[in-house]
């Protein structure tokens, strides 16, 4: 039986963020191939993490800058190691390479952190983002180095794949497009969802530890929601999200129909009962789990260019995409009131899920890619000299910094 070691940035919380759901999809994929899976993380346990035992996965707590990991990974001797975001590859990649040199090293990027941060910086400086901004972004240097050191990086966004190959000149053989892996939705299942008449209110769902979500809620509160309420005086916006801080809770304004609800017991239930999802994201990266969830729940959405990036290909959106707050508000009202437009948008979402995110479209090719790389790992690494060079210098620098920290901590 092949062994997969996942080194997680946090323990999976699928009800808190799309990243948690994505991780469970990857676990399911490897489980189907008969892998024995161990999930290790230096993170503290949380009240909302899944019970990995229920998924047939062994749980292991590991420490940063500690040689105990070397003993653990050498004994486990995994065939494949999956790093959950580049920060985990930075911490543990050199230890894996040194103790298990024949293990296939995969990186799940989730989204390009450097792109999200560069866009956020440009937004806060009140200017348009340019790809040249990435060249001065410190995180870009770290993240790109991590991608180059790995044998394959899993990308969730076609836009980000294009960015990596054109702007950073990364060889396509090091990247693999693997979006959310979802079960297709049948028309019969879709028709069982709450109808237009059975739904009410607008909704926003997003983890508040994620800066783009907090900014979007501010934008709704200050700019967009007053425009909607002007046309729909009785309208209500329910804002749900994990880990709301005091500054989020202070936006709760019942008289204005702007309700901060905190963590949703089950996000799909609140999205399914709403008539329209509002997601005015002004910066960010990757593919937005909240908008995927809206489509699965048959709930049309209004979002921005950033929000819909790489999500729908040539297919029509399940609602509207606009960067104008006035158009955003007007279209939200129109979609909320017009049953015909609402149903059309709903079926657009069904088409996007089934034609772009169906698990069956990707799973077999991905499994073949993993087997191919395992059978040709030495040759694959020989064609990635820059990655080998970066790994060499990581072993010569990060390794001894980590050793120093370990001794210092003792």
Q: Are residues 201 and 261 in the same domain?
A: yes
For the chain, how many residues are written?
410
Interval 47-58: pLDDT, tens: 999 999 999 999
Mean pLDDT of all residues in 217-239: 97
Report the distance separating Cα 355 and Cα 311, nearest Å: 11
Interval 300-329: pLDDT, tens: 999 999 999 999 999 999 999 999 999 999
Residue with tokens 């990060």, as numbered in its chain = 398
> Is the pLDDT reported for residue 410 higher than 90?
no
Report the distance separating Cα 238 and Cα 246, nearest Å: 17
Q: Are residues 122 and 206 in the same domain?
A: no
In terms of residue numbers, what domain contains 265? 187-356
Give me the sign of the Cα torsion angle 197, 222, 242, 28.
Answer: positive
Number of domains the chain is built from: 2
Q: Are residues 8 and 156 in the same domain?
A: yes
Report the distance separating Cα 207 and Cα 216, nearest Å: 11
Mean pLDDT of the chain, nearest integer: 95
**In 10 A of CB 369, how many CB atoms?**
13
Mean pLDDT of all residues in 70-75: 97
Alpha helix positions (H), 201-338 = 211-219, 225-231, 246-249, 267-273, 289-296, 305-308, 325-337
Question: Which CATH number goes with the domain that contains 325?
Answer: 3.40.50.2000
Report the distance separating Cα 11 and Cα 358, nearest Å: 25
Q: Are residues 323 and 191 in the same domain?
A: yes
Q: Are residues 12 and 148 in the same domain?
A: yes
CA distances for 196 relative to 215, 229, 275, 335, 342, angstroms:
29, 20, 7, 11, 8
């Amino acid at each position: 039986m092949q062994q997969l070691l996942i080194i997680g940035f946090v323990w999976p919380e699928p009800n808190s963020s799309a990243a948690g759901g994505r991780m469970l999809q990857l676990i399911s994929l490897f489980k189907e191939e008969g892998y024995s899976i161990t999930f290790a993380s230096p993170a503290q346990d949380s009240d909302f993490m899944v019970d990995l035992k229920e998924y047939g996965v062994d749980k292991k707590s590991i420490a940063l800058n500690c040689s105990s990991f070397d003993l653990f990974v050498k004994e486990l001797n995994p065939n494949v190691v999956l790093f959950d975001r580049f920060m985990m590859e930075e911490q543990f990649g050199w230890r894996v390479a040194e103790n298990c040199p024949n293990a296939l090293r995969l990186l799940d990027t989730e989204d390009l952190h450097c792109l999200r941060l560069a866009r956020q910086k440009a937004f806060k400086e009140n200017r348009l983002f340019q790809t040249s901004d990435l060249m001065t972004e410190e995180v870009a240097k770290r993240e790109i180095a991590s991608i180059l050191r790995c044998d394959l990086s899993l990308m969730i966004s076609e836009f980000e794949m294009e960015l990596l190959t054109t702007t950073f000149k990364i060889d396509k053989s090091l990247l693999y497009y693997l979006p959310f892996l979802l079960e297709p939705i049948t028309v019969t299942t879709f028709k069982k969802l709450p109808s237009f008449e059975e739904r009410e209110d607008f909704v926003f769902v997003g983890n508040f530890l994620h800066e783009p979500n907090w900014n979007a809620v501010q934008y709704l509160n200050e700019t967009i929601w007053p425009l909607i309420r002007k046309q729909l005086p009785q309208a209500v916006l329910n804002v749900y999200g994990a880990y709301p801080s005091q500054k989020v809770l202070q936006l709760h304004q019942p008289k204005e129909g702007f309700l901060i609800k905190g963590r949703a017991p089950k996000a799909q239930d609140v999205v399914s009962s709403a008539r329209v999802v509002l997601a005015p994201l002004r910066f960010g990266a990757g593919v937005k789990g909240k908008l995927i969830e809206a489509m699965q729940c048959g709930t049309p959405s209004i979002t921005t260019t950033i929000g819909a990036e790489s999500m729908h290909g040539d297919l029509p959106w399940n609602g509207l995409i606009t960067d104008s707050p006035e158009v955003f508000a007007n279209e939200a009202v129109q979609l909320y009131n017009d049953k015909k437009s609402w149903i059309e948008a709903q079926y657009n979402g069904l088409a996007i899920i089934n034609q772009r995110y169906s698990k069956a479209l990707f799973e077999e090719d991905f499994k073949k890619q993993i087997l191919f790389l395992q059978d040709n790992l030495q040759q694959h690494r020989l064609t990635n000299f820059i990655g080998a060079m970066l790994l060499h210098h990581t072993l010569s620098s990060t390794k001894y910094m980590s050793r120093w920290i370990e001794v210092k901590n003792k």
